[in-house]
Amino acid sequence: MDDLDRELLNRLQTAFPVTARPFCALGKEVGLSEREILTRIESLKGQGLIRRIGAVFNLQCLGFISTLCAARVPDNLVDLFVDTINALEGVTHHYRRNHEYNFWFTLICSSSEALQTTLTEIERKTGLEVISLQAVKTFKINASFQL
C-alpha cells in the first residue's frame, strides 16, 4: 500500500463524493482517472483492506424499523435456518456464534407489523423461536481510521 492508497482509504471513509460518478470525482481530487481509482479499490478489496463500500442510512428517518435477532439453532436445522433468513431481503447480515444463542442476524422492515410478520414466518418455517432485541436507544459512533 502506497501513500495514494492511504489517501484514497481516508477519503472513502470520510469524504466520499455524492455524485453520479463518485470514483471519477475522487480521481480528479487525487490526480487519477476513474479507471485507476477503481483498479486501486479492487486491489485494496483483494488485499482484504476494503470489505465493502456503501451508505449508512438513518432507518428511523426513512420510516423503517430494525432489530437484532438471536436463535438457538441445532446442527440438524442450520441449513434450513440459514436458507430461510438468506431468502429475506430485510436481513442485512447474519453470523454464527459459539454461544447458547448461536445464530444472530439483523432485520429491517417497513413497519412493526411487517417485522412481527417476518419473525413469525421464520419461526413457522424453521420451527425455531427467534428472539427480537430491538434497541431502546440508538447510539451512533462515527468511526474512521486515518491512515
Over pLDDT 90: what percentage of the chain?
A: 76
Q: Taking a C-beta distance cutoff of 8 angstroms, is the pair 80, 123 a contact?
A: no
pLDDT in tens, 102-136: 999 999 999 999 999 999 999 999 999 999 999 88
Q: Beta strands 130-133 and 91-96: pairing type?
A: unpaired
Burial label for 69, CB within 10 Å (0-12, 13-18, 19+), is buried
The pTM score is 0.69
Residue 47 has pLDDT above 90, yes or no: yes
d(CA 110, CA 30) in angstroms, rounded, equals 40
